Amino acid sequence: MIKNFFIAACAAAAYFSSGVASAQAGDNQGQLIVRGEYLARAGDCVACHTATGGKPFAGGLAMATPIGTVYSSNITPDKTNGIGNYTEAEFDQALRHGIRKDGASLYPAMPYPSYAKVKPADVKALYAYFMNGVKAEPTSNRAVDIPWPLSMRWPLSIWRAVFAPGVAGDDVADVGSGAQIALGRYLVEGLGHCGACHTPRGVGMQEKALTDDSSQLFLSGGVVEGYLASNLRGDSKDGLGKWTEQDIVDFLKSGRNGHSAAFGGMADVVSNSTQHMTNEDLVAIAKFLKSLAPVKPGEAALVYDEKTHQALRTGTDQSNGAMTFLNNCAACHRTTGHGYDQTFPALALSPTVNAKDPASLIKIALQGAVMPGTKAAPTQFGMPGFGDRLSDGDVADVLTYIRSNWGNNAPAVTADMVAKVRKSLPKKVAEADMTAQR
């Protein structure tokens, strides 16, 4: 019985070191493929290039753009529908320059402006992995769902010329202090393409900053699929100011830490990508993120206020916000607002709660959220959605309450804001019983 499993393991190892390069087989090619697999994890290629329930890297995932829907392409080594006929140079053209084999420009849904920062040596490894380490799938590519004339591609080459940076060389300069921060910058700006979600975008839908420049816009927060991808700079109120490096490493490794838990698109990022990265790389990312100056440097740090807890315990706060909190939220998030470490996130002094844009909060309150299951922390604690139980007014009241108690200090949420988000959700998130509205 155990023999069978052992034989299967040997076969898997053999598969990895065989392939096109078997003639030059030996440790080098094998190592290159392994490195390429790791880099593909860091770049999270699988997340976009795999349809829900589809074969890995075979494409087909729908992505909304301002002009219509595009579908990710098949990047398996299939020779008909995949990239099996791409040379390494053509692979690099697509990955870092945004130009397809046939010369057409890629939609910036492919974050090639970020991948431009990837070193040629790493591109080589990625190419080796995609050609030899990925199973070829014949899945055909879906055409874009964009009406003519918007479907014309030549404007993309203009976009590319205006917004895409030059590609990196192998000698990535060590600007600033320390090799670790340089490694962190390399991972965050490049394969991590964190800015694709966490940096605000301009009129041309371009990231407003691709590096930590004087604008201080890099990783200062962006809205993606209705969620606020939070500010990752040094602000203590709504950024990573209060997080230690270890907090960041824990978050990326396990999807949760003493402050918070990953939700929305970030849950997938942790699950598919960052949980697979080495501790060394995660520490480097953490060091780099902690080096980012706050957007609002003068802003005073928030201070925990015990009065809220006391008011809830004694029942002196009978407002709709307080009562809704007690009846729906307090079991897990507690009357202290502290939640439970590594289990139910804290609301008190939480950057997510204190972000000016309440998009994430409204969405989570209505439809709930589930933590990613990771190797380091397998339990997927879930928050139920309250959209079918709370009216727009109740959600607004409780979120306003949360954002103004325990020392939190963020603008109120209105029923209209909630209604807008509710409209954008899938129908199966049931409507609230409107008689509950106050």
Partner 1 sequence: MAIKKEKVDVVMVGLGWTGSILGQELTEAGLQVLALERGAMRDTNTDTPYPKAVDELKYAVRGALFQDLSRETVTIRHGVGDTAVPYRQHGSFLLGDGVGGAGFHWNGMMYRNLPEELEMRSHHEQRYGKKFIPPDMTIQDHGVTYAELEPFYDFAEKVFGTSGKAGNIKGKIVTGGNPLEAARSNEFPLPPLTYNYGATLVEKAMRESGFNPYPTPAANASQAFTNPYGVRLGPCNYCGFCENFGCYMYSKASPQTTILPVLLKKKNFELRTHSHVIKVNLDSTGKKATGVTYIDAQGREVEQPADLVLLTAFQIHNVRLLLLSGIGKPYDPQTGEGVVGKNFAYQYNGGINVLMPKGTQFNPFVGTGAGGVGMDDLNADQFDHGPLGFIGGASIRHVRYGGRPIKQTVTVPGTPNWGTEWKAGVQDAYQRYLTIGLSGSVMAYRDAYLSLDPTYRDSTGQPLLRMTFNWHENEHKMLDYIGNRMEAVGNAMKPEKVFKAVRKAGSSYDVRPYQSTHLTGGAIMGTNPKNSVVNRYLQSWDVSNVFVYGASAFPQNMGYNPTGLVAALAYWSAKAIREQYLKNPGPLVQA
CA distance 267 to 186: 22
CA distance 130 to 115: 16
Q: Does 376 bind partner 1 (CB under 8 A)?
A: yes
CB of 29: closest distance to partner 1 in angstroms? 26
Cα of 236 vs its chain's centroid, Å? 21
154 residue type, one letter: W
CB of 330: closest distance to partner 1 in angstroms? 9
On the question of a cis peptide bond just before residue 149, with omega within 30 degrees of 0, the verdict is: yes
CB of 126: closest distance to partner 1 in angstroms? 25
- Parallel, antiparallel, or unpaired for β 222-224 and 227-229? antiparallel
- Using the rule CB under 8 A, which residue among 380, 404, 409, 414 binds partner 1? 380
Q: Which stretch binds partner 1 (CB under 8 A): 1-9, 87-95, 237-245, 430-438?
A: 1-9
- Using the rule CB under 8 A, which residue among 42, 131, 168, 377 binds partner 1? 377
Q: Does 433 bind partner 1 (CB under 8 A)?
A: no
CB of 2: closest distance to partner 1 in angstroms? 5
Between residues 256 and 290, which has the closer beta carbon with respect to partner 1?
256
Q: Does 1 bind partner 1 (CB under 8 A)?
A: yes
Spell out the residues 6+ positions from residue 65 whose beta carbon is closer than 8 angstroms to its own: 107, 109, 146, 205
Q: Does 203 bind partner 1 (CB under 8 A)?
A: no
Q: Does 378 bind partner 1 (CB under 8 A)?
A: yes
Report the C-alpha dihedral over residues 258, 262, 267, 271, rounded to 10 degrees.
-20
* φ/ψ of residue 217, rounded to 5: -90, -20
- Using the rule CB under 8 A, which residue among 227, 251, 381, 401 binds partner 1? 381
Q: Does 154 bind partner 1 (CB under 8 A)?
A: no
Q: Which stretch binds partner 1 (CB under 8 A): 63-71, 147-155, 228-236, 377-385?
A: 377-385
Between residues 63 and 332, which has the closer beta carbon with respect to partner 1?
332
CB of 363: closest distance to partner 1 in angstroms? 17
Q: Does 141 bind partner 1 (CB under 8 A)?
A: no
- Using the rule CB under 8 A, which residue among 47, 144, 370, 412 binds partner 1? 370
CB of 266: closest distance to partner 1 in angstroms? 18
Between residues 4 and 214, which has the closer beta carbon with respect to partner 1?
4
CA distance 69 to 73: 13
- Using the rule CB under 8 A, which residue among 389, 407, 415, 420 binds partner 1? 389
Instruction: State the DSSP code for 95.
Output: I
Q: Which stretch binds partner 1 (CB under 8 A): 66-74, 117-125, 236-244, 367-375?
A: 367-375
Three-state SS at 124: helix
Q: Which stretch binds partner 1 (CB under 8 A): 180-188, 198-206, 312-320, 378-386?
A: 378-386
Site mask, partner 1, residues 312-351, x = CB under 8 A? ----------------x--xx-------xxxxx-------
CB of 325: closest distance to partner 1 in angstroms? 14
Q: Does 384 bind partner 1 (CB under 8 A)?
A: yes
Between residues 193 and 253, which has the closer beta carbon with respect to partner 1?
253
Q: Are 37 and 17 in contact (CB under 8 A)?
A: no
Site mask, partner 1, residues 29-68, x = CB under 8 A? ----------------------------------------
Neighbours of 403 (CB within 10 A): 23
Q: Which stretch binds partner 1 (CB under 8 A): 108-116, 134-142, 230-238, 371-379?
A: 371-379
Q: Are 386 and 366 in contact (CB under 8 A)?
A: yes
Q: Does 201 bind partner 1 (CB under 8 A)?
A: no
What is the binding site for partner 1 (CB under 8 A)?
Answer: 1-2, 4-6, 328, 331-332, 340-344, 368, 370, 373, 376-382, 384, 389
